[in-house]
Structure 1
Amino acid sequence: MSAFDFSRNARLLRPAEFKRVFDNTEWRGSTPCLLILASANQQAQARLGFVIAKKQVRHAVDRNRIKRIVRESFRLNQAKLEAQDFVILARSGCTELDNQQLREMIDALWFRLRRPSHAKPDNSQRKKRR
């Protein structure tokens, strides 16, 4: 398997997988148009799922364009991401963005995810204040 594949096992497919991410969100990143929820998984790789409602993005062509651009970005960045499940939620402003703006927005979110500062702090290394 190539590092740039987007195979079936790199996708969230079942409602229970989506529910687990919604119920146990460990990290969230947002922009005015996109929201990413992330939760650790037991798999060996990162996985991706979409929730793009008709109420937010009215036309199927726009929903498909958003999914296509996010999938491509994920495919190129998945080797750098931790083994987590990601759910992408689109907001209504996505349709006003062109492909380049949307790509830059999602790439910035992946970059923030890879930074060490998004990890939870270790309580054992905190200094106690008196």
Structure 2
Amino acid sequence: MNSSRFPRTARVRARSDFDRIFKHGRRVALPVLALHFQADADVPARLGLAVSRKVDPNAVGRNRIKRVFRDAFRHLRAELAPGDYVLVARPGASKLSGEELRAAFHSLLKRAGARSALALPETAAPGTMPAASPSHPTPDPGPG
């Protein structure tokens, strides 16, 4: 099976599953996105999406948001902890670019502790000093 596909078995589709995840799962949230997560060792990672008309009244906008999340999940699925993930978009999500939506999703996964083997490169905050490299050791001030 091609790992870049998004089969039906990788989706949370039944209303009863959504209700179970909302009721018993953990939730982490940002102003534009909420992630509900319920671990289940018997099921590989599955994704459910909830993007209402409050997020964007136009179907094109809602579908763009869902497409971005499905693509991001598709690439991360093998590295995520087993269980069900439901993303609930909030009204500010329609104003974000695809990259900003992906970054928000990654941030929520990290906060939820759902990424098992995933190691994205950490970016330094602007204005911070880089770590000292071994090729340029800091000088020893000597005794005194």
Q: Normalising TM by the smaller chain, what interval?
A: 0.7 to 0.9
Are the equivalent residues in 2 in contact too, given 1:52–1:89 (CA < 8 A)? Answer: yes
Flag the structure with larger Rg.
Answer: 2
> How many positions carry a matched residue from both structures?
115
Tell me the CA shift for residue 35 of structure 1.
0.3
Q: Does 1:18 align with 2:7?
A: no
Contact 1:41 1:83 in 2 (8 A): yes
Contact 2:55/2:62 (CA < 8 Å) preserved in 1? no
Q: 1:3 is matched with which residue?
A: 3
Q: Which residue of 2 aligns with 1:127?
A: none
Query: What do you get for the CA RMSD once the two structures are aligned?
Result: 1.9
* Paired amino acid for 1:20: R
Name the structure with the higher helix share. 1
- Aligned: 1:59 with 2:58: yes
**8 Å Cα contact 1:77-1:110 kept in structure 2:** no
Give per-residue Cα distances to partners, 1:75-126, cap 9 Å, x unaligned: 000111111111110100011111221122112223333269xxxxxxxxxx
Counterpart residue number, 2:115 = 114
Secondary structure of 1:114's partner? coil
The amino acid across from 1:35 in the alignment is: A
1:1-130 pair list within 5 angstroms: 1-25=1-25, 27-41=26-40, 43-112=42-111, 113-114=114-115
Distance 2:40 2:17 in 1: 10
TM (norm. structure 1) is 0.79
Gaps in structure 1 of 5+ consecutive residues: 117-130
- Of 52-61 and 31-40, more deviation after overlay is shown by 52-61
| Cα deviation 1:59-79 (Å, max 9, x = unaligned) | 111110110000000000011
- Contact 1:4–1:79 under 8 Å retained in 2: no
